Each structure stands twice: as structure tokens, then as C-alpha cells.
Structure 1
Amino acid sequence: MKQKKILLLGGSQQQIPSIKKAKELGFYTVTCDYLPENPGHKFADEYYNVSTTDKEAVLSLAKKLQIDGIVAYASDPAAPTAAYVAEKMGLPGNPYESVKILTEKDLFRDFLHNHGLNCPKAHGYTSCEEAAKDIEQFQFPVMVKPVDSSGSKGVVKIYSSSELKNAVEEALSYSRCGRFIVEEFIKKKGYQISGDGFSVDGKLVFTSYGNELYSGRNGTREYVALGEFWPSLLDPEIKEKVDSELQKLIKALHMKTSAYNIEAIVDENDTVYILELGPRNGGSYIPQLIKYATGVDLVDYTIRAAMGEDCSSLKMVPTVGCWSNYMLLSTENGIFENIWFDKKFKEKNLLNVYCTSTPGDVVHAYQNTTHSLGTMIFKADTIEEMQEITNNIQNYYRVIVKK
């Protein structure tokens, strides 16, 4: 019998788990992107130098290879390409137009608004002049964001119209399509919700949420993501509200069998806002953290879904224990030397270190995830211990740089 072939878009370090899983499941694995030196490619059977955002080029490659499935694991920019190719070739996947909506913030906010789902006041623009005409209609503070970036890149919170120009310039510098949104700031209650989910035939069957950790130290903005910790501190009834909002959205978008990366906020009135429903697994090793927390292997289900295999065994599973994924970051510019870990923390808590830098590399003081040096995963015995570690992380690890 012919070995089934899967095309995996991207070969970065954090995409290695998907490549290894596809091999483990017995599929012939092909990777592509425009970075032949990416470490994931050496785990694949074949590699092609084709950009993951070039839909037509990837479609041409997929047809030539006669693939049976395609995956954009942990990659927002590649998700529309995977959906496009799957749709054109009649392979398992989500509707291309729906994936496009989910990966462009202005389209997504419009969709939420038009379908009666909770949404902050928001509007998309292509120039500062356009936004300046409308800006006084918004209630400050507002967030200015590129429509197509992730990881806090190009996101700026402003308190007056005089700050708009600089914010727009920064947002546009991170936008591939040259668009940004302005949206009113939502004052959240408790931690922001972050995690992954999975639907089977359009039904949300699994979600696992953590508590988003943000910066504000060392001159970074207070909304720059640092990581998450599990278990979620949400009340059970609020978790049900979040799941319900997600199910409405998944149904409205005609999504099928798919992994999602989820960002949501609960405001002071317990209103749930879905900020992001990324049509792909989470980055920063969220699926690996969820496996520690629940025993559920979302990477396995993602590969199986792409190959049209049965995913009906997936069910909701509670979190056991306390777990965190946390950015490896430098607080200063310099030359990377190594990472120092507190001895007790390293022995008792630390589980995995995924570092993308090697000694001698130039590193930058952390301002957004562009400056991340990777991710570590660690555990704690109690929520109190987890909060003590994450609130005082500088006592447990430091990136050592030479100036």
C-alpha cells in the first residue's frame, strides 16, 4: 500500500514536534519554507525551498507531490495557505475564506460584529490619515495593532490622538499586508485567557486554558506576552461561557476538524470577548504544555485531522498539576553567552528548555516575541508556588549576555 504523504508548512524549532509526530504516525513527511537552515527540515523525508505564504507556489508543489494532507502547525501566516491548498485539492481542511477572516484582525472584528458576537469597538485602516479622521469616535485608551501579526509584535496602547502617528508607523512595520486596526481597550477581570482547543466536524470537543502572563518590567510594555501558566483560574461557569462563545464562532465560520489557538478576555461585567481564534495550534510549545497538564496530545490529533483520520476519541480533560511555558528573554542587548538557572529550580521545577540562540549570537532586550530566545516549560506543586515563581522569575533564571 502506498505510504500517505503530508506537507508540513515550516521547519522552525517549535514546528519540530509536528514533523516528528507525522513520521511517528507512519506518514511520508515533506517540509517547505524559504529557510533551508531551519532545524525541522532534517527530521523530514524531503524539503523544498518554497515560501509558506506563497499560496500558488505551495499549491503547485502539493499537486506535484500528490500529497494526502497539509498542516500549518503553530503558524498564523501559513494557515491561509494550508486552507487554500486543501480546498483546491479536496483535502481535509477548513474553508479558506474562514481561515482568512481568522488571520486578519480587521476582517475578524467585522465578522464578530456582523454575527452579533461580543467585540470591542474596532475599525481597520491602511493609513494614519484615515485613522486620524475617526480617532475621536473611539474612547481612549485604544489599541493599535497590525491586522496580521502575533506575539505582541507592533501592538501599541495609546491614550490620546497625539500618539496615533507613531503607533501606526510601528503597527504597519509589522504588517505584511499594510493594514492595522484601532480598537477600544477592554479592562479585563483577572488573567487574560490563553490556550488551545479542538473541534471535530464543527463541534468544539476540547479546550484547555491557562492564565496569560504579561510584562511591564524592564521598560517593556505591560501587554507584551511572556507566557502562560496552567491550571486556569476561571470559574467553571465563565469557562462554559468562553466555550459557548467559541462554539458560536466555529459554527458561524463553518469550521471543521481543527486545532485552535485561543485568546480571550472576561471584562468586569463577566462579558466574554474572543480576541483571537487562530486556526492552528498555539506557539510557544502550548500543545506540549497541555500534554503535561492533561495527557492530551493535540499534535497527534492535528496530524490525524489533516490526513482525514478519525478524531472522535478527543474529549474534555481537566488539568492536573501546575505548569508554565515562559519566554527565554534577555533584559539587555549584547552577545549571548548562556542561561543561568537557580539550582533548586532546575532540579525541582524545570522540565524542558527550547533555546534558539547559541553562544556568540547577538540578542536584544525583550520588547516583543521577535526578541524571544525560545521557551522553557516548568512545573510547580501549587498555584501559590507557580505565582511566586512567575512573579519573581528573575530569581529563577537569567540570560547571560556580554556587552
Structure 2
Amino acid sequence: MGKRILFLGAAPTQVPPLHYARAQGHYIITCDYLPDNPGHKLADEWHNVSTTDKDAVLELAKQLKIDGIVAYASDPAAPTAAYVAEKMGLPGNPYQSVLTLARKDLFRAFLKEHGFNVPRSQSFYDREEARVWLSEIGLPAFIKPVDSSGSKGVTKLTNASEFDKAFDHALNYSREKLVVVEQQIVRTRYQVAGDGFIVDGKLVFRSWADEHFDKLCNGLVPIGQTFPTSHPKPWLEVAHAESQRLLSLLGMKTGALNFDYVFDESGNFYFLELGPRNGGCLIPEVIRYATGIDLIKYTVDAAVGIPCHALKMEPAKGFWSSYMVHSLEDGVFKELWLSDRVQTKIVEQDIYVKPGDKVRKYLGSNDTLGTMILKFEDLNEMLEMVDNMENDIRVQVE
């Protein structure tokens, strides 16, 4: 018997769970404020309600008598889903815990309070107070909104004279109008990304990747993740233990997680984010290729209370990557140039633009022009190609 499931958001990246839910015979309801989003076409009904308006979504959910709620690959919608689930007694995680994970200021304060490694970081409504704090922690520093996702509104500040511009940029992407000013951790090796899943409070599965950025555009927005991560196993065991400690302290129960963390030059572990939701950037899809584990299925099942006890750790087999097709400059899209060698690596590709479309320089996940999943022969080939992808994939604009 199908269940009535409310999906928060219907963007291209949020379509995979809709396909799974449809295949299971569930009744699909989507909501967001963008009527043209493709997920609405897969729904049995859709509603023009902002996914961040938690009380409006709760009203809608009550009227529709839903059995479950899903915020897939969306940081801003995750607290809303938890709030509705808590108010209606549906499967989900504690609202306050999800809010803590989703908001950078609350997350940093929680980490500090419980003795995790944490960069010096404070949040400000007031620009001048933020400026004083910046002079205290020094440069380089990150200026970012407390509540955006997809690296939108983030600046790596290396010159104090650019502070006002960075503060305004962060404000522009913050609903709360609250800006984080944070010391940069000097990391060793790659930043680590990937997804995991908790069942009954235990981190039963995680698949971690090296995260790649494009040094030719802004260097802050991920362009791809390569599985498996190249980090040493003992470091990953520390990351697992610290993740479990954090999830236990927060009383998280069941559901998907998206990781971002680094190790500093001394090998100390630092959380950047632990999102209470699936990752974007095709992370769940690549994990399905690499491990055979379908986190999209488990996310939908968990939302309607179907037990997820079959889920267990599986290592990545082979060498897999996601890739975000992007432009290095503003202009009009002409064509996508692919080298001969990369064409043999592409397993899936989905290009959102056609010749004549306006494209923007890649400054946030909202500037993605398409996605790919690639398979490589070995770790070295994968890292070398993804780190220098301009040699193999180029968006040509005029």
C-alpha cells in the first residue's frame, strides 16, 4: 500500500528520490516556490510553498495527511522536514538537532562546547563587530552566510580591504542576515566529502571521497568528488569515531548524512559540515555505482518508517567520480568540448544548457551547467584528471 510523501523541493538534483517513490507506488507531493522545477512533473500534486517556511509547510502537511516527509539534498529544507515530522509524530530526527547541524553558527558553538576541534569562528549581524573579530583572528579567513548551501555566498578573504564586499556577498545569501567570520584551517591533503546513513543512532554506512575544486574559477565550490578517498585508514577511523560521538550527542536517530571535513597539517580532524540530508553533486548516485548501496532508497524508506536494518558498510569497488560541468567565464554557451580520453570514462552525463543559452562563471552550485559520472582505471589517473579537468572538459562560450 503506497504512502503519501511530501518532498521539499523539486530541483533537478532532487528528482532521484521521486523516481524511487513512484516505482514503489507511493503518492508523491512536491512543494517549493519554483513552478518550473522538473520534479513537479513527477508528482501526483504540487504546491507553491517555500520549503523554508516551516509553519506553512506544517499546515500543508496536516491538510494533506502525509505519512512521511523528505528534504533531499537541501540544507535549508532539512530543519523544515524535521519540524514537521516532530509536530506530526512522523519518522524523523529531533528538530533542534537538525537545526544545529544545518546552521553554521549553532554547529560551531555545539562543537566547541563538546570538545571537538573547531576553527576560531563567530557570527555577526553587525558589520563593525565582525571587522573587529577579523582583525583578532587574522587572514586568511572565510566569510560566509550561516544558513546557505552549495557554497553560495562564501568568500575566502586574503585581503582585508575586500572585507565589505565579502560581508555584503554573505548577507545577500543569508535568510537570517547573519554572517560567519571564521579562521581558515590549513588543511593537508584533500578536503573529504561523501554521504553516510544512521540507523537507530548508529552510523552504519559511510562512503567518503576526496573533494575537488577548480583553481581556475573560485576554488570554493566543489566540481567533483572522487571515490574512494585517498586518506589513510587510521585517519578515517578517527573521522568515523568523531562522527558517531557527534551524532550520539545530538540524539540523531535515522537518516542520510552529508559530510565535509578536513585534517590539518598535524593530522587533526575538523568537521566543516555534517549535513542532516543526502549530498548534492550526484554523491548518492556515485556511491550506488561504487558500493552497490542505494542511499536514495533508504532515505525514502526511512521517511515512511520502513526498517533500514539491512544497510551495512560496503567499501567502494573501482574508481568513480562525479563532475559538475561549469564555465570559467560569463557568456553565451557555444559547445561542450570533450577530449577523446575523457569520452571513454563517462558513464552518465546530463547537460542542462543548449547553444545560445546565457551561462555564468561558476561561483555557486546554482551555476552548474550539467553533471557527469565517470569511471577511471586507478586512483592516480582519477586524481590527475579531475584535478586538471580543463585539459579534458571545456565549456566554450562566446
Task: Compute the TM-score of the two structures, normalised by the length of structure 2.
Answer: 0.97
Question: How far did residue 357 of structure 1 move?
Answer: 2.3
Which of 310, 330, 333 aligns to 1:333? It is 330
Q: After superposition, where does 1:184-263 map in structure 2 within 5 Å?
A: 184-217=183-216, 220-263=217-260
Distance across 2 between alignment mates of 1:285 and 1:391: 18
Q: Deviations over 1:160-215 (max 9, x none)?
A: 54332222111111112101111111111111110001101111111100001012
Q: Distance in 1 between matches of 2:349 and 2:115?
A: 42
* Partner SS state of residue 192, structure 1: strand
194-203 or 364-373, which deviates more: 364-373
Cross-structure match for 2:177: 178
Aligned to 1:390: 386
Matched length: 398
Deviation at 1:400, TM superposition (A): 2.7
Question: SS at the partner of 1:191?
Answer: strand
Q: CA deviation at 1:277?
A: 0.7
Is residue 216–residue 224 contact of structure 1 (8 Å, CA) maintained in 2? no
CA contact (8 A) 1:9 1:71 kept: yes
User: C-alpha separation between the residues in 2 aligned to 1:54 and 1:368?
Assistant: 23
Which segment is superposed worse, 45-54 or 198-207? 45-54
1:340 is matched by which residue type in structure 2?
W
Q: How does 1:26-65 map to 2 (within 5 A)?
A: 26-65=25-64
Name the structure 2 match of 1:85. 84
CA contact (8 A) 2:258 2:277 kept: yes
Q: How many Å separate the matches in 2 of 1:338 and 1:90?
A: 50
Identity %: 49
> Runs of 5+ in structure 1 lacking a partner?
none
Once the two structures are superposed, what CA deviation does each residue of 1:331-361 show, in whole Å capped at 9, x if it has no partner? 2222223322223422x21011122323332
In structure 2, distance between residues paired with 1:80 and 1:358:
35
Instruction: Give 1:290's aligned amino acid.
Output: I
Cross-structure match for 1:298 = 295
Residue identity opposite 1:73 in structure 2 = Y
**2:285 corresponds to which of 276, 285, 288:** 288
Q: Distance in 1 between matches of 2:293 and 2:2?
A: 26
Q: Name the structure 1 match of 2:143.
A: 144
Match of 2:93 in 1: 94
Answering whether residue 359 of structure 2 is matched by residue 363 of structure 1, we say yes
**Cα shift at 1:388:** 2.6
Name the residue aligned to 2:14. Answer: 15
1:351 corresponding residue in structure 2: 347
Give the distance between the partners of 1:207 and 1:23, measured in 2 at CA. 26
- The 8 Å contact of residues 330 and 365 in structure 1, kept in 2 or not, is answered as yes
TM-superposition CA deviations, 1:71-123 (whole Å, max 9, x none):
00001111111111101100000111111111110111001001111111110
Matches within 5 A, 1:55-134: 55-134=54-133
Offset of 1:25 from its aligned partner?
2.0
Distance (whole Å) between structure 1 residues aligned to residue 221 and residue 281 of structure 2: 14
Q: Could you report, residue by residue, the CA deviation over 1:40-64 in whole angstroms, capped at 9, with x for unpaired residues?
A: 1111221111111111111111111
CA contact (8 A) 2:201 2:254 kept: yes
Q: Kindly report structure 1 stretches of 4+ aligned residues shifted beyond 3 Å.
A: 159-163
Supply the AA of the counterpart residue of 2:325.
Answer: L
Whether the 8 Å CA contact 1:265–1:273 is kept in 2: the answer is: yes
Amino acid at match of 2:231: L
Does the Cα contact within 8 Å between 1:13 and 1:356 map onto a contact in 2?
no
Structure 2 residue identity aligned to 1:337: K
Q: Distance in 1 between matches of 2:218 and 2:41?
A: 37
State the alpha-carbon separation in 2 of the partners of residues 160 and 400 from structure 1. 31
Instruction: Check if 1:342 corresponds to 2:339.
Output: yes
- Answer yes or no: is the 8 Å Cα contact 1:323–1:379 preserved in 2: yes
Displacement, 1:399?
1.7
Measured after TM superposition, the shift of residue 155 of structure 1 is: 1.4
One-letter amino acid of the structure 1 residue matched with residue 364 of structure 2: N
The amino acid that maps onto 2:372 is: M
Using the alignment, how far apart are the partners of 1:387 and 1:397 within structure 2?
Answer: 15
Deviations 1:220-250 (A, max 9, x none): 2333321111111111111110011111111
Is 1:374 matched with 2:370? yes
Is 2:69–2:303's contact at 8 Å kept on the other side of the alignment?
A: yes
Q: 1:111, 1:139 → 2: CA distance?
A: 23
Q: Give yes or no for contact 2:139–2:159 (8 Å, CA) kept in 1.
A: yes
Q: Which moved more, 1:160-169 or 1:304-313?
A: 160-169
Q: Which amino acid aligns with 2:296?
A: V
Could you tell which deviates more after superposition, 362-371 or 237-246?
362-371
Structure 1 length-normalised TM: 0.95
Q: Secondary structure at the match of 2:355?
A: coil
Query: Contact 2:213–2:387 at 8 Å: present in 1 too?
Result: no
| Range with greater deviation from structure 2 (370-379 or 256-265) | 370-379
Determine if contact 1:58/1:81 at 8 Å carries over to the other structure: yes
